[in-house]
Amino acid sequence: MTTQKERKMKKLKNVMQRTINSTLLHKKGKAVILIFVVLLTFTNCFEDLDDNTIATVDINDFVWKGMNAVYLYKSVATDLNNEANNNARFSTNEDYLSYLNSFETPEDLFESLLYMPNTIDKFSRITSNYFDLQNQQQGTTITNGIEFNLYRLSEESAEVFGAITLVLNNSIADNLGLQRGQIFRAVNGQTLSTQNVGSLLSTDSYTLNFADYDNNGTLMTEDDIITLNGESTTLTNAPYTENPIHRAQIIELGDDKVGYLMYNGFNSNFDNALNDVFANFQAEGITELVVDLRYNGGGSVQTAAYLGSMITGQFTGQVFSKLFYNENLQNRNRDFLFTNTLEGGTPINHFNLSKVYVLTTKLRTASASELLINSLRPYIDVVVIGENTIGKTQASITIYDSVDLSLDNVNPNHTYAMQPLVANSANVDDLLVPTDGLEPTFELTETPSTLRTLGNIDEPLLEVVLFDIIMSRGINFEPHETLPLFGGNYISPFEQDMYID
């Protein structure tokens, strides 16, 4: 007598067979995969099947079909490279079902499909809640408003301390009076170490116990002293929408006026606000421009092209950057051009500059930030002060479990989405951003004792810019020795991103 489990599996296999038949075109024994065909939901068809089993199979099928359709490295990725002959890989629905069920979670399957995830594809992501991703792309996160770096006390030490690098405007931390450069040595009264730092700083609410940093008047780090000072602040996460224009100001330098813009994300919702900044710079008659991207993890490719057009203006209609897709999506290859209008026709305020200064860090400057630097270099002099950037040349899109992988008619039974790398970005000379990042013109590393107020003329990275402007030549200086970095801020992986609107 057939058991209930066997009946369930038979129904599921029948669904899998119909799905495979619908997504493969057979011609003379060769199977050609239809681009953007995704498995329809099983749950509505078989409500009597175990919910967890169906959900996992359903999501795993979305992961497989979605990656096979759009993934940039599908021709070389381990589990996707045979997909030109998919029928040979999965000759029966049982083979395909067995493959999908061999992964306990959609995340496991997704990770198995990535090409050289430690070196080449460090950036493709999967999320179990695409609402969080959508909010992230719109600039809304759950945060207490600080970003920080973590350092070991010494090379071999397991003890850790933190240095606040950025306080987001009008955030909880900002309203509590926290400032860039503050040092914390403990959390919730517990001394930080490599063993507990993750658990202590990943909660929704915690208390920072602050410390005084004494460098003993030397550039050496071995004699630095960090002492708890009895001060503390409790921070609690809350929804926050960040205006990526963190700071925009004019610095008067003799007869020159320097425009300083700290820009923390290429968010298309703020394109008009960015254009307004350049209108103000125009009205003030700036002659030099500094774009501070040290905490900018990327964002919209189109917004990067807009910013490049604002900086220049003399190259309207010429190629700003190029995108190249996988071999099945070559019809999607496109050029982003320098332009004189925003979407909707608003005129762009531009400067026709032949030189721009850009500030970078190795932990956060990535993706669309690197795209801006790389795309401007064939046209104007881009002077980079700071550190090597992260090295992300690829762009991604968000794909959902629907027939065409868009949000239209999305599968209502789960909220998984993926952001796989789908295209490589190159400049007009076909040069990619190197995987080890873009090298700075002047190398300078932020240290816990040099985190001065952003935009002030004594802030070390900006100080180098001003010296270069004054002296009209490179500045020789002794770089500070730095404590061994333990890790960066706990940020969403989607922050290091370059996406196509």
Tell me the three state secondary structure of residue 136. helix
pLDDT of 492 over the 90 cut: no
pLDDT tens readout for residues 391-419 = 988 988 899 999 999 999 999 999 999 99
pLDDT score at 438 = 97
Distances in Å between the alpha carbon of 465 and those of 277, 412, 442?
A: 20, 52, 9
pLDDT score at 177 = 98
Q: How is residue 189 written in tokens? A: 């009264």
**Do the beta carbons of residue 356 and residue 380 sit within 8 Å?**
yes
How many degrees, rounded to 5, is the angle at CA 318 between CA 315 and CA 322? 130
pLDDT of 496 over the 60 cut: no
Mean pLDDT of 432-439: 94
pLDDT of 31 over the 60 cut: no
pLDDT score at 480 = 52
Low-confidence winner among 19-28, 123-132, 261-270 (lowest mean pLDDT): 19-28
Most confident by average pLDDT, 140-144, 239-243, 377-381:
377-381
pLDDT score at 23 = 32
How do strand 183-187 and strand 160-167 relate by DSSP bridges? antiparallel
What DSSP assignment string belongs to 182-245?
-EEEEETTEEPBTTTHHHHHSSSEEEEEEEEEE-TTSS-STT-EEEEEEEEEEEE-EEEE--SE
pLDDT tens readout for residues 175-208 = 999 999 999 999 999 999 999 999 999 999 999 9
Share of the chain above pLDDT 70, in %: 82
Q: Where does CATH 2.30.42.10 sit in the chain?
A: 141-241
pLDDT score at 51 = 44
Mean pLDDT of 145-165: 92
Q: Where does CATH 3.90.226.10 sit in the chain?
A: 245-480
pLDDT tens readout for residues 161-174 = 999 999 999 999 99
pLDDT of 118 over the 90 cut: no
Distance CA 25, CA 454 (A): 59
Q: Looking at domain 245-480, what is its CATH homologous superfamily?
A: 2-enoyl-CoA Hydratase; Chain A, domain 1 (3.90.226.10)
Among 497, 479, 446, 461, which residue's Cα sits nearest to residue 290?
A: 461
pLDDT tens readout for residues 86-108 = 545 788 888 898 999 999 999 99
Query: What average pLDDT does the structure give for the chain?
Result: 84
pLDDT score at 7 = 43
Distance CA 357, CA 473 (A): 13
Q: What is the pTM of this model?
A: 0.81
Distance CA 173, CA 302 (A): 31
pLDDT tens readout for residues 449-480 = 899 999 999 999 999 999 999 886 444 444 45
pLDDT of 307 over the 70 cut: yes
Q: Looking at domain 141-241, what is its CATH homologous superfamily?
A: PDZ domain (2.30.42.10)
50: left (phi over 0), alpha (psi -120 to 50) or beta: beta
Mean pLDDT of 411-431: 95
Dihedral, CA of residue 450, residue 366, residue 382 and residue 341, to nearest 10: -120
pLDDT score at 292 = 98
How many degrees, rounded to 5, is the angle at CA 384 between CA 379 and CA 388? 120
Mean pLDDT of 27-32: 28
pLDDT tens readout for residues 310-344 = 999 999 999 999 999 988 899 999 999 999 999 99
